[in-house]
């Protein structure tokens, strides 16, 4: 809003305040309709139902939720919902989420997700979609789980992989780097280790606090931002949706949290391209699917360098494409700018790597759009051979 508001701004501001008071909010938070098609221990696979006027065509998309985050990250609000975007476009759309994590799940480690949850979800989605290969999209830790599951099981019916804001080189995460001396204190047997063992994991309040800390500046300036945008309905609706997302963070199981803490935060193991799991070592070079990697331009949880580090490690992939898009950790996935950036690139990528049964017209339209889409910036796009030459 201008320092001296214009008449239309005053009217919009008054309308927004009235709507907030009378109806409790401005955001359309209705979830997209869905049906459960498979479930197991901390595994729920849903199919989003298209409206009666939309016909599903092409290969399916599976959205993989990260641990601790609610699945509404993909269905934030109407107009800023990646699910809505795919469903209304006729893409068969599926979601993997985990439900509530409790103390009884404290002994589940990353093996549960890499060996069982993610591979089972991919196979179930492929079967439900008539045997088609699956375009797997994972945000944050969901992207890391997807990459590791694909590397460990090359036979999975995967058409392509997309990792959105997935930090591979944790040494380049500003929030973690200053804490590394503390993390290595007492040889891994310090208060943090004892704390998560006692609690059975990382509880919800701690997870919520950590996510808010990553955007501390926005948190501090939020009252001023709200006041200065009181006439901007879209801005206020997005704030409401993000607040709901943050309020619904989920706990980490104890053993999984311990592995993330010791192997990622302390050991930065994945930066080498290898990850020790049970009696084997998983190598990212064993991924055979094409991989699309997104980094957010102002992401404090997964900065550009931490995400880009995966590109030279994907030596077995037929194509690796790296994109920098506007937004922070959540905004790059489902912010207002994502509709014309991240989602455009995803559509182009999925059409490029869809099976021969895909309608030829869709591929032609994607080729036409390639000249103007943000996703075709040649300075940020790398073939697998060029990716291997990257030093950082």
CATH assignment at residue 376: 3.40.50.1820
pLDDT band at residue 174, thresholds of 50, 70 and 90? confident
Task: Say what percent of the chain tops pLDDT 70.
Answer: 67
CB 325 within 8 A of CB 296: yes
Q: Which residues contact 207 (CB under 8 A, 6 or more apart)?
A: 68, 249, 250, 251, 252
Quick one: 390 exposed, middle or buried, by C-beta within 10 A (0-12, 13-18, 19+)?
Answer: middle
- Asked if the structure places residue 217 within a domain, the reply is no
Confidence category of residue 383, pLDDT binned at 50, 70, 90: very low
User: With 90 as the cut, is the pLDDT of residue 339 above it?
Assistant: yes
- pLDDT exceeds 90 at position 228: no
Q: Does 226 score more than 50 pLDDT? A: no
Q: Please indicate whether residue 264 or residue 194 has the higher confidence score (pLDDT).
A: 264
Residue 370: pLDDT over 60: no
Confidence of residue 230 (pLDDT cuts 50, 70, 90): low
Q: What is the pLDDT of residues 241-296, one digit of tens each?
A: 888 888 887 766 767 777 877 777 778 889 999 998 878 999 999 999 999 999 99
Q: 1 lies in a domain? A: no
Of 110 and 208, which is predicted with more confidence? 110
Range of the domain at 288: 31-203+251-388
Question: What was the pLDDT predicted at 141?
Answer: 92
Q: Is 8 contained in some domain?
A: no
Q: Degrees (nearest 5) of the Cα angle 6, 331, 111? A: 165
Count CB-CB contacts under 10 A for residue 220: 9
The answer to the question of residue 172 being in a domain is: yes
Quote the mean pLDDT of the chain.
78
* CA 209 and chain centroid, separation: 19
- What is the per-residue pLDDT for 250? 75
Residue 214 pLDDT greater than 60, yes or no: no
Q: Which alpha helices (H) appear in 74-140, and where do they start and end?
A: 82-88, 110-111, 118-128
CA distance 118 to 150: 9
Q: Residue 37 in contact with residue 128, Cβ under 8 Å?
A: yes
| pLDDT > 90: percent of the chain | 50
What is the number of domains present in the chain?
A: 1
Of the listed ranges 80-94, 301-315, 319-333, 378-392, the least confidently predicted one is 378-392
Residue 230 falls within a domain, yes or no? no
Tally of CB atoms within 10 A around 128 = 18
Cα gap 352→350, rounded to integer Å: 5
Instruction: Considering only residues 359 and 333, tell me which one the structure prediction assigns the higher pLDDT.
Output: 333
**b/e burial code for range 369-380 (CB count within 10 A of at least 16 → b):** eeeebbbbeeeb
Q: Which residue has the higher pLDDT, 180 or 173?
A: 173
- Is 93 part of any domain? yes
Q: What one-character-per-residue DSSP string does 276-297 give? A: EETTEEEEGGG--S-EEEEEET
Provide the strand spans (E) within 109-244.
134-139, 158-164, 201-202
Q: Is the pLDDT of residue 86 over 70?
A: yes
What is the reported pLDDT for 277?
84
Listed in order, strand segments (DSSP E) in the chain are: 34-40, 43-48, 61-64, 93-97, 134-139, 158-164, 201-202, 252-253, 274-277, 280-283, 291-296, 320-325
Is residue 20 situated within a structural domain?
no
Query: How far is CA 108 from each of CA 41, 208, 231, rounded to the nearest angstrom?
Result: 10, 21, 47
In a domain, 236, yes or no: no
* Confidence check: pLDDT of 119 > 60: yes
The pLDDT assigned to 109 comes to 85
Question: How does pLDDT run across 23-77, given as a tens digit for each residue?
Answer: 556 678 999 999 999 999 989 999 999 988 889 999 999 999 998 888 999 999 9
Q: Which of 243-252, 285-294, 354-363, 383-392 has the lowest mean pLDDT?
A: 383-392
């Amino acid at each position: 809003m201008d320092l001296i508001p214009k008449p239309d701004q005053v009217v919009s501001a008054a309308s927004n305040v009235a709507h907030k008071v009378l109806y409790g909010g401005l955001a359309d938070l209705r979830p997209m309709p869905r049906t459960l098609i498979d479930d197991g221990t901390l595994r729920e696979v849903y199919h989003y139902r298209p409206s009666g006027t939309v016909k599903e065509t092409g290969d399916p998309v599976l959205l993989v939720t990260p641990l601790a985050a609610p699945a509404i990250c993909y269905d934030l609000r109407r107009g800023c919902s990646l699910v809505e975007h795919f469903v209304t476009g006729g893409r068969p759309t599926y979601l993997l989420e985990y439900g509530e994590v409790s103390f009884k799940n404290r002994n589940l480690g990353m093996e549960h997700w890499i060996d069982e949850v993610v591979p089972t979800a991919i196979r179930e989605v492929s079967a439900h979609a008539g045997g088609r290969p699956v375009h797997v999209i994972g945000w944050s830790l969901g992207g890391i789980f997807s990459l590791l599951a694909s590397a460990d099981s090359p036979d999975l019916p995967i058409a392509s992989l997309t990792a959105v804001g997935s930090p591979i080189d944790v040494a380049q995460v500003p929030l973690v780097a200053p804490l590394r001396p503390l993390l290595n204190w007492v040889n891994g047997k310090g208060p943090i280790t004892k704390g998560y063992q006692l609690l059975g994991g990382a509880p919800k309040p701690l997870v919520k606090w950590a996510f808010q800390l990553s955007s501390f500046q926005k948190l501090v300036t939020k009252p001023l931002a709200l006041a200065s945008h009181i006439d901007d309905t879209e801005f206020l609706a997005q704030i409401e949706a993000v607040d709901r997302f943050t309020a619904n963070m989920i706990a980490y199981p104890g053993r999984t949290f311990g592995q993330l803490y010791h192997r990622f935060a302390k050991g930065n193991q994945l930066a080498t391209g290898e990850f020790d799991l049970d009696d084997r070592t998983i190598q990212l070079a064993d991924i055979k699917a094409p991989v699309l990697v997104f980094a957010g331009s102002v992401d404090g949880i997964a900065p550009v360098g931490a995400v880009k580090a995966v590109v030279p490690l994907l030596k077995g992939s037929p194509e690796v494409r790296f994109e920098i898009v506007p937004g922070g950790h959540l905004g790059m996935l489902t912010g207002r700018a994502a509709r014309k950036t991240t989602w455009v690139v995803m559509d182009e990528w999925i059409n490029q790597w869809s099976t021969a049964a895909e309608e030829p017209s869709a591929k032609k339209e994607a080729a036409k759009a390639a000249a103007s889409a943000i996703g075709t910036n040649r300075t940020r796009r790398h073939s697998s051979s060029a990716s291997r030459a990257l030093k950082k």
